[in-house]
Structure 1
Amino acid sequence: MENERNVDAVVLVGGQGTRLRPLTLSAPKPMLPTAGVPFLEHLLSRIREAGITHVVLGTSYRAETFSDHFGDGSAFGLEIEYVVEEAPLGTGGAIRNVFDRLRADDVMIFNGDILSGVDLGELLATHRDNAADVTLHLVKVADPRAFGCVPTDADGRVEAFLEKTANPPTDQINAGCYVFRREVIEGVAADTVVSVERETFPGLLSAGAKVMGHVDSSYWLDLGTPLAFVQGSADLVRGIAPTAALSAPVGESLVMDGATVADDARIIGGTTIGAGAQVGAGALVDGSIVFGRARIGDGARITRSVIGTGAVVGARAVITDAVIGDDAIIGADNELISGVRVWPGVSIPDGGVRFSAPS
């Protein structure tokens, strides 16, 4: 990346990940195992590949888990610093909260739960070539109604920030990655709750600041829901989403060291089987994440689901679009489907829950 030494990276990882509960009861969302490693490793690998080496993590919820895992960053080819947000400050406040750790003229800011294929070098080039105050990564989506829209003019300059609407005027949405001039961050009110989307960006437009959009159609996924989380992990395993942190060649599955899989079990769809996990005879695990030490019984069928650390899924159980918490026990012949979430440590007896009549 051009002038990489004059770019800092800030990753916002302070959220509680409530939409992913119960998975996030024990770990922050960016630290959940995703294609074999904490999700944040995938993002940091792309930051390092782009030539950025100084990273500031804005933490809050279970802040110690980040520093315990990443330390000073040297094992990852980075220099990592940590700033703990003692009280929620919003996205803009969280960015301002790390200002004292910034060194570079330009600062690339990432939401810590976005999986993206944007070319970071091109994003920075857009920012610098236009001498912008702020540049936003904007991604085109098929259905923008679920998002706020960001229209740009013919030169790529941002015209407005629009709330969700039934008839969006553009298919461009805020993709959660920005480049700021450091002076702009200094101008955000300190120690105050500030929304970058609702206050900072509209305020910059009103003040005549130059806010540019970098528009592309690269891979992009918000990992905020269980279905998106398992899809993102599967896309990383299959090589659909970019990363430099995968521990094995891309393929239909990733089986971590110490896991055991029966010869006739089928592990497909980008599934990850965590370290020390066991998959029994005749089982099918499709497009799912099985955390470490979990046990999948003979003939069980797991589809687009997350099985927590140490959880047990009994023989012939069917788990579809579901989340099974850490150390939960799902007895044989249960059917858990359509968004069911089982909290950690809960035990469901054999045949205790079914969505169809037993055969």
Structure 2
Amino acid sequence: MLPCLILAGGLGTRLRSVLGETQPKALASINGQPFLVWILRWLERQGVTEVVLSLGHGRGEIVEWLSQQSLGLSVTVIAEEEPLGTGGAIVHALKTCGAARMIVLNGDTITDLSLRGFIEFFDATGTDLAIAATSVPDASRYGTLNFDANSRRLIAFEEKRPEQQPGFINAGIYAIDATRLLGFDLPERFSFEADFLRPQVASLDIRVFPEIEEFIDIGIPSDYARAQHVVPLMLEQSANET
């Protein structure tokens, strides 16, 4: 199983009305336990043994919490001394830990993705980068992925549209070949999708793995409220499947 990088350095501004000004999203309570607990349980049940946490806002509080936990996997913390954006955080983590390939996921989302199936897809296609995707009935909040149905090769990132329409969206989970990514001349701070993936669609072999059925992002209050019952049910289901 590949090591997993969790991007949890964001400010969580959209949740401040619920969490307050200082609490990091990773420690937001879901059914009485920090959201990070649920992510780590999910990863452990899928056979992940090595996790890298990229932390910025609230790092001290999260590190203190980690020191009090008995975890079934190895967790390494990498600090963002200042916000680097998703792209900058990924590059910083890859350079720091030296992994040749990694799974990258956002610290405010959880899905029913089979990581083993995702990695097998990544290996079988020999692609530069794979994106896990999910189909939603209303993609207006996200924008969509346009990809070839047979090869699963990404054709374009479609912009958000005001009208409600179904589509496949980027679930924020990537399988990355570090050697390929670090071969680009990249800035210190940048958005991984907007500043790197979108301009490089033609030059990179990017494949889409559209196998996620359940997806939840706790980044806004309404979805955070929904997560209180959805996330425990997802973990219960994954436990029954292992």
**If the length of structure 2 is used for normalisation, what is the TM-score?**
0.89
Which residue number corresponds to residue 64 of structure 2? 68
Kindly indicate whether the alpha-carbon contact (under 8 Å) linking 2:137 and 2:166 is maintained by their aligned counterparts in 1: no
Between structure 1 and structure 2, the one with the greater Rg is 1
Aligned counterpart, 2:105:
110
What are the within-5 Å matches in structure 2 for residues 118-133 of structure 1? 118-133=113-128
Distance 2:95 2:74 in 1: 16
Separation in 2, partners of 1:216, 1:45? 20
Change (3 A) 1:41 1:189: farther
* Offset from partner CA, 1:259-296 (integer Å, 9 cap, x none): xxxxxxxxxxxxxxxxxxxxxxxxxxxxxxxxxxxxxx
Q: Matched residues in 2 for 1:169 and 1:206: separation?
A: 26
Contact 1:150 1:170 in 2 (8 A): no
**What amino acid is aligned across from residue 118 of structure 1 in structure 2?**
L
Is the contact between residue 157 and residue 211 of structure 1 (CA under 8 Å) also seen in structure 2? yes
Query: Hey, what does 1:249 align to over in structure 2?
Result: none
Q: Deviations over 1:87-109 (max 9, x none)?
A: 22111111111123334432000
Choose the corresponding residue for 2:37, options 20, 41, 46: 41
In the alignment, what sits opposite 1:16?
11
The one-letter code matched in structure 2 to 1:12 is L
Given that residues 105 and 181 in structure 1 are in contact (C-alpha distance below 8 angstroms), is that contact kept between their aligned partners in structure 2? yes
Q: 1:242 matched to which residue of 2?
A: 235
Q: Give the C-alpha shift of residue 166 in structure 1.
A: 3.7
Q: 1:173 matched to which residue of 2?
A: 169
Distance 1:130 1:24, change over 3 A: farther
Local SS of the residue matching 1:160: strand
Q: Secondary structure at the match of 1:206?
A: coil
Give distance in 2, aligned partners of 1:139 and 1:217. 5
Q: Counterpart of 1:124 in 2: which secondary structure?
A: helix
Name the % identity. Answer: 25
Residues of 1 paired with 2:186 and 2:167: CA distance?
A: 33
* 1:119-140 deviation digits (Å, cap 9, x = unpaired): 1111111111101111001100
Q: In 2, are the aligned partners of 1:43 and 1:243 still within 8 Å (CA)?
A: no
Q: 1:187 aligns with which of 183, 190, 197?
A: 183
Call closer, same or farther: CA 1:199–1:243 in 2, change over 3 Å.
farther
After superposition, the CA RMSD in angstroms is: 2.4
Unaligned runs of 5+ in 2: none
Q: Which residue of the partner structure matches residue 325 of structure 1?
A: none
- Supply the distance in 2 between the matched residues of 1:217 and 1:106 (Cα, whole angstroms): 21
In 1, Cα distance between equivalents of 2:221 and 2:162: 25
- Which residue is equivalent to 1:143? 138
- Secondary structure of 1:99's counterpart equals helix
Q: Secondary structure at the match of 1:214?
A: strand
The aligned runs of 1:339-350 (5 Å cut-off) are none
Q: Which is helix-richer, 1 or 2? A: 2
Equivalent residues in 2 for 1:192-211, closer than 5 Å = 192-207=188-203, 209-211=204-206
SS at match of 1:146: coil
Change in 2 beyond 3 A, CA 1:155/1:232? same
Give yes or no for contact 1:150–1:160 (8 Å, CA) kept in 2: yes
Secondary structure in structure 2 of the residue aligned to 1:98: helix
Cα separation, 2, equivalents of 1:39 and 1:245: 16
Q: Closer, same or farther in 2 for the Cα pair 1:101/1:123, shift >3 Å?
A: same
CA distance in 2, matches of 1:102, 1:168: 41
For residue 228 of structure 1, give the secondary structure of its aligned residue in structure 2.
Answer: helix
3-state SS of paired residue (2:216): strand
The answer as to whether partners of 1:99 and 1:185 remain within 8 angstroms in 2 is no
Aligned pair partner of 2:52 in 51, 56, 70: 56
Q: What is the CA-CA distance between 1:72 and the residue it aligns to? A: 9.5
Deviation at 1:168, TM superposition (A): 8.3
Q: CA deviation at 1:162?
A: 1.8
SS at match of 1:155: coil
The match for 1:96 is: 91
Q: C-alpha distance in 2, partners of 1:160/1:47? A: 30
For residues 127 and 167 of structure 1, do their structure 2 counterparts lie closer, same or farther at Cα, with a shift above 3 Å needed?
farther
- The residue that corresponds to 1:29 in the other structure is 25
Figure out how many residues of one structure are paired with residues of the other and give that number. Answer: 238
What is the CA–CA distance in structure 1 between the aligned matches of 2:181 and 2:153, rounded to whole Å? Answer: 19
Unaligned runs of 5+ in 1: 247-359
